[in-house]
Amino acid sequence: MATWLTYSMAALVVVLAGTALFFFTMTRGALLMRGAMGRLQHEAAHVYPIYSNMRLIRLVDYQPIIAAILLFQYSRLVSLITHGINHMDLRGKQALITSCAFGNVMPRVVKAALDSGATQVVVADIIQNELDHSKRKLGDYADKMVYVQDNAIGMKQPDASVSANIMFFLLHELPHHLKGEALREAVRVLQPGGKLFLGEFHKPRPWVLRALSWTYFKVFEPYGLALWNTHDPVDMLEAMPGITCERHVVFFGNFQVVIATKAD
Ligand SMILES: C[S@@+](CC[C@H](N)C(=O)[O-])C[C@H]1O[C@@H](n2cnc3c(N)ncnc32)[C@H](O)[C@@H]1O
């Protein structure tokens, strides 16, 4: 019995360590490697391989994996966004998803926007493979969708052209100097009265969770911690003229959905 338990524990440790090593290699490890090789000039140099290599995209994009990464708060966060979209009148308007995301957030957001009357949903991402992968997930809505390879920090989308803009967990992956630029662009493309829906990490209240979260960012996602202080999205958005924000925090403050409204 004791031997069986020991083997089981050892197997669990090996699986967890292997998973952590895989994610490290595909996230921070890859960025460190690019830095060491002097390959950080390209506009997509900050993008992890799990978002650019089609095999890796397909390997990782499973709802249970994605839900677990967000501590099983994924559905709740998406619901906060879709609830907000459902309360908008988007008749004859356009919605925008700024950067693709794993899991079912895109189909849920597109459905909410179309149910609220939107005539078209634009998906913009810097990586063509992500757009191709999303196209497969959004096949049911094909005639209402437009896919554009675009950079969130300097978008092709005209000024004041969309009524809802959804940005799901992009900000924490951008180098700090690009976070403000992405938010300025997200606001620029919004029509007066339009809303930006932002899903992100937030500084948790209990110290244990804060310590675990801090370790996670230090190891895997070096650009994420700044959202706790120097690059708080609400501070950055409210510093822009005509923007007001509501912040909803969930799971002891570990995650947030910010809904920013542009004045009419
Ligand atoms: C939204 S973020 C991370 C989402 C989250 N981890 C998830 O998938 O649930 C990942 C996406 O952002 C895209 N991306 C990263 N930097 C970008 C940029 N500057 N402009 C547009 N898309 C970008 C990546 O190509 C990838 O598709």
Quick: pLDDT tens for 189-234: 999 999 999 999 999 999 999 999 999 999 999 899 999 999 999 9
Query: Are residue 18 and residue 117 in the same domain, yes or no?
Result: no
Instruction: Pick from 40, 125, 165 the residue to mutate for probing ligand 1's pocket: most ligand atoms within 8 Å of its CB.
Output: 125
Which mutation among 59, 61, 100, 181 tests ligand 1's pocket best, with the greatest number of atoms within 8 A of CB?
A: 100
The reply to whether 126 and 97 lie within a common domain is yes
> Does pLDDT of 261 surpass 70?
yes
- The answer to whether residues 26 and 139 belong to one domain is no
**Among protein residues, the one whose CA lies closest to atom 27 of ligand 1:** 100
Residue whose structure tokens are 């630029």: 181
When pLDDT is cut at 50, 70 and 90, the band that residue 15 belongs to is confident
User: Per-residue pLDDT averaged across 97-117, rounded?
Assistant: 98
Cβ(79) – ligand 1 distance below 6 Å: no
The first and second tokens of residue 13, run together, are 């440790």
Residues 191 and 247 in one domain: yes
Check whether residue 77 and residue 168 sit in a common domain. Answer: yes
Contacts made by residues 258-261, CB under 8 angstroms, sequence distance 24+: 258/196, 258/197, 258/198, 258/200, 258/233, 258/234, 259/84, 259/195, 259/196, 259/197, 259/198, 260/187, 260/195, 260/196, 260/198, 261/193, 261/194, 261/195
Domain CATH for 222? 3.40.50.150
Distance 178 CA to ligand 1 centre (A): 13
Q: Decide: 73 in ligand 1 pocket, CB within 6 A.
A: no
Are residues 96 and 222 part of one domain? yes
- Do 136 and 214 belong together in one domain? yes
Model-level pTM? Answer: 0.94
Same domain for 37 and 48? no
Residue to mutate (ligand 1; options 76, 155, 170; most atoms within 8 A of CB): 170
Query: Number of structural domains, the chain?
Result: 2
Asked if 154 contacts 185 with a C-beta cutoff of 8 angstroms, the reply is: yes
The ligand 1 atom at the shortest distance from the C-alpha of residue 61 is 8
Separation between Cα atoms, residue 10 and residue 13, nearest integer Å: 5
Q: What percent of the chain has pLDDT over 90?
A: 80
Q: Are residues 73 and 194 in the same domain?
A: yes
Together in a domain, 225 and 124: yes
Q: Where is average pLDDT lowest: 3-7, 85-89, 200-204, 216-220?
A: 3-7
118 and 247 in a single domain? The answer is yes
Please check the confidence at residue 160 and state whether its pLDDT lies above 80: yes
**Spatial distance between the Cα atoms of 29 and 81, rounded to a whole number of angstroms:** 32
Confidence bin at 1 (pLDDT 50/70/90): low
Q: Are strands 255-262 and 190-201 parallel, antiparallel or unpaired?
A: antiparallel
Report the separation in Å between the CA atom of 13 and the middle of ligand 1, taken as the mean of its atom positions: 30
Residue 112, phi then psi, degrees to nearest 5? -60, -40
Domain assignment of residue 159, given as a range: 43-262
- Which ligand 1 atom sits closest to the C-alpha of 130? 27
Instruction: Using alpha carbons, list the distances in angstroms from residue 16 to 10, 19, 32, 62, 221.
Output: 10, 5, 22, 18, 18
Q: Is the CB of 75 under 6 A from ligand 1?
A: no
Q: Please check whether residues 11 and 74 belong to one and the same domain.
A: no
pLDDT band for position 9 (50/70/90)?
Answer: confident
